[in-house]
Amino acid sequence: MKNVVDIVLGGLTYWMFGFAFSFGRSDLNNGFIALGDFFIDPSLRDPLKGAIYAAFIFQLSFATTATTIVSGAMAESFLNTAIYCIPAGWIWGEHGFLKKLGAVDIAGSGAVHLLGGSAAFASAMMLGPRLGRYDNGIAPLPLGNPVNAVMGLFVLWWGWLAFNSGSTYGLSGEKWHYAARAAVMTMISTFGGGTISIFYTMIKLKGKIDTIDIINGILGSLVSITGGCFLYKGWEALLVGCIGSILTCGSMPLIDKMGIDDPVGASSVHGVAGIWGVIAIGLFADDPYPLDTTSGRSGILKGGGWYLFGIQCLFACCILLWGLTSTVILLWTINKFITIRMDVHVELMGADLTEHMVKHGNVGVSRAVSAFRTVLDTTEIEKLKTVGLNPGHDKSLNMVDHLAKRKKYKLSRILRDITKNRNLGINISKNLIPRKKDRRPKSIKSPEHNFNVKLRPTTDNSEVPRTAQIAWMD
């Protein structure tokens, strides 16, 4: 639900002022911020209206992604739109000072992931660890649902192809060649990152595999390749993914040792891997002729000199500092009016129960409610029904139990009582209730003689199969 709210409110604020801060057209634009096209809605006579609409919907996905990265570390405000949109303009807006210097970030290793990861780190630091998180050491807590976590990995994995390939902003000319190259290099980087994460977790756990290491290792490789997705050769993409995975998996326990509780590892996956993704461009980037992505420059290892590498390091420092300082200032201000951390009893009972009215059927929830019953009014909470259950079924099942044990009714009689005066759609109740079997001997009519022949029961079970005993027969 948090991600849904992030997209809804984040999308609203991006339309109101976010796009304007990044790409607005105005005489007031400067190297730091754009100040035009608020509440973006170009006129029908605007020759750029198609390009503006396409840019808005594509950049909206980046803006909401950066916001949901932070919400993985804590509950964040929709004001994150402002945190993201200003630095996005630095690197992608025509007015941006980093763009004018020649910094490169094709699909957001820095502008999206590094920003989101640094904001997540600052948020987790200000929020503090969950109660009891480090009482038994820094080992990661069990995943809430490993199957869903892996399903989420697959969704991100394939969705990443659209992000990276779509960042060519078209298919005309040579763009489709580089869009295809971006998709292939993205996948190659995950092959390297996934392999490294498998070896990492098997060495760490002596032959066993930790799901979170595999997931975050692959995601770290995806973040790393994003900034220069069509600027690398195959072996370079593989190496970038491998290093990104190592940095991600290795930094997660270090952050826990600092006492900073990042539940999903967003600081490592997006922050640490994002730094590497930005810097790697300065090492391995090709000049993607005839595109002007790198302004004709190449990385150090391609004979391009130190300029691009230096600009990429400056770019990483600017985004990192902006993400940390802006998030700290924002949360410190919000905390003066609304406490950013939930009450202790709410945390112990769980936000699903207390904020979303979702009552799970596991023992921990019932135990938490029971513990607070004598010191806290839990009446409203205890009225909630467990998710996945139909309260009306409980009444019917209690009736079945009563009629079967007390009245000694057979199933067909019980079901008739339960369905009496009920709306069963186009069906009538007798069609939905098991019927009695006719146990009388069957007869057949001889084709040659006009008389009935009765079948006698036989002692040989192989010749005439017996009717199976069914519990609901009267």
Let me know: does 225 contact 164? Beta carbons within 8 Å: yes
CA distance 131 to 436: 60
- Write out the H or E segment, with its range, that includes residue 474: none
Residue-level pLDDT at 154: 95
Residue-level pLDDT at 457: 52
Residue 459 lies in a domain: no
Same domain, 80 and 152: no
Let me know: does 75 contact 334? Beta carbons within 8 Å: no
- This prediction's pTM: 0.82
Same domain, 287 and 314: yes
**Three-state secondary structure call for residue 449:** coil
Same domain, 215 and 356: no
Same domain, 375 and 330: no
Residue-level pLDDT at 430: 67
Nearest to 315 by CA among 286, 268, 285, 274: 274
Bond into 290 cis (ω within 30): yes
Let me know: does 241 contact 228? Beta carbons within 8 Å: no
Residue 231 lies in a domain: yes
Residue-level pLDDT at 441: 55
Residue 39 lies in a domain: yes
Same domain, 203 and 315: yes
C-beta atoms surrounding 177 within 10 Å: 14
Same domain, 189 and 312: yes
Q: Radius of gyration (Cα) for the chain, nearest Å? A: 32
CA distance 116 to 323: 7
Residue 73 lies in a domain: yes
The phi, psi pair for 205, rounded to 5°, reads -105, 15
Residue 458 lies in a domain: no
pLDDT in tens, the chain (474 residues): 777 877 888 888 899 999 999 999 999 999 999 999 999 999 899 999 998 999 999 888 888 887 777 764 443 445 567 788 999 999 999 999 999 999 999 999 999 999 999 999 999 999 999 888 898 888 888 888 899 999 999 999 999 999 899 999 888 889 999 999 999 999 999 999 999 999 999 999 999 999 999 999 999 999 999 999 999 999 999 999 999 999 999 999 999 999 999 988 999 999 999 999 999 999 999 999 999 999 999 999 999 999 999 999 999 999 999 999 999 998 898 889 888 888 888 888 887 887 778 877 765 677 777 788 778 888 887 777 777 777 777 778 888 888 888 778 888 888 888 777 777 777 776 677 776 655 555 555 545 545 454 445 544 444 444 444 444 333
CA distance 257 to 115: 22
CA distance 157 to 223: 11
Same domain, 159 and 288: yes
- Per-residue CA distances from 106 to 91, 212, 227 (Å): 10, 28, 5
Let me know: does 130 contact 263? Beta carbons within 8 Å: yes
Torsion of Cα atoms, 167 then 6 then 271 then 109, to 10°? 0
Same domain, 154 and 93: no
CA distance 355 to 365: 14
Same domain, 216 and 364: no
Residue 5 lies in a domain: yes
Residue 23 lies in a domain: yes
Let me know: does 64 contact 10? Beta carbons within 8 Å: yes
C-beta atoms surrounding 323 within 10 Å: 28
Same domain, 153 and 204: yes
Residue 435 lies in a domain: no
Same domain, 63 and 175: no
Q: How many structural domains does the chain have?
A: 4
Structural domain ending residue among the three candidates 382, 408, 441: 382
Same domain, 80 and 108: no
Query: What is the domain extent for residue 200?
Result: 102-132+143-341
